[in-house]
Amino acid sequence: MRVTHELLLAHPQLLTLPFVAPLLCTADLSVAASGPGMHIPMIVFWILMQLITLGKVTTSLTGINFWHDVTAAAIGLNIALMLFNLLIPAFPLDGGRILVDVLMLCGLSPESSAGVSVGLSSVVAFFLITLGLLSGLSGLTMIAIGAWIGYQAYILLRHLRNKTINQHPLFSLPSRAGFQQQQQPAQNAGATVRNPLGQV
């Protein structure tokens, strides 16, 4: 993937080919999905450890059997982290990257996809912060995560307003640039040429 991006940066004209940007966007989607997928081997490992040592699979804690609680907590934590990172459609979580890839593959422009991402990320941030405040001291981590997502949404919104969306990490990939070039073919092909006297 890195070699492909370096090739496209060296030869940006390849991005104008209609099939290149969707392929790259699909590849980025698979990379984003692989992040949460890394929890699957860990879940399988702890399930096997439970089956071998306890003869059953459970995520409930007893407070009595230390090994039982360790394996149960490991399974539950990995499942929770995988689902949170995959299903929460907020950047910079992998779910946010997947959302943008899907939107652009469905035909939305980078600007429209960024607007959707900002809106959903703001809602998620507000929900997490509110839930954290209602949870007391135990909700401090949730408040921190919500604030982090909210700050990232603000940065994306600022790029959107300043029309510098292509400088944001989420939209600076060659796949995103390919969609931008395909949506503005006339502007790319109709660049004015100056004559030797400097007149248009």
d(C-alpha 89, C-alpha 104), whole Å: 14
The predicted pLDDT at position 173 comes to: 59
Q: Which two tokens stand for residue 73?
A: 């907590």
pLDDT in tens, 7-38: 444 444 444 444 455 666 676 777 778 888 88
Reported pTM: 0.68
d(C-alpha 18, C-alpha 138), whole Å: 50
Lowest mean pLDDT among 2-6, 43-47, 133-137: 2-6
Contacts made by residues 154-159, CB under 8 angstroms, sequence distance 24+: 156/91, 156/114, 156/117, 156/118, 156/121, 157/118, 159/114
- pLDDT confidence of 48, banded at 50, 70, 90? very high
The predicted pLDDT at position 127 comes to: 94
Q: How far is CA 56 from the centre of its chain?
A: 35
* CA nearest to 71, candidates 89, 44, 97, 93: 44
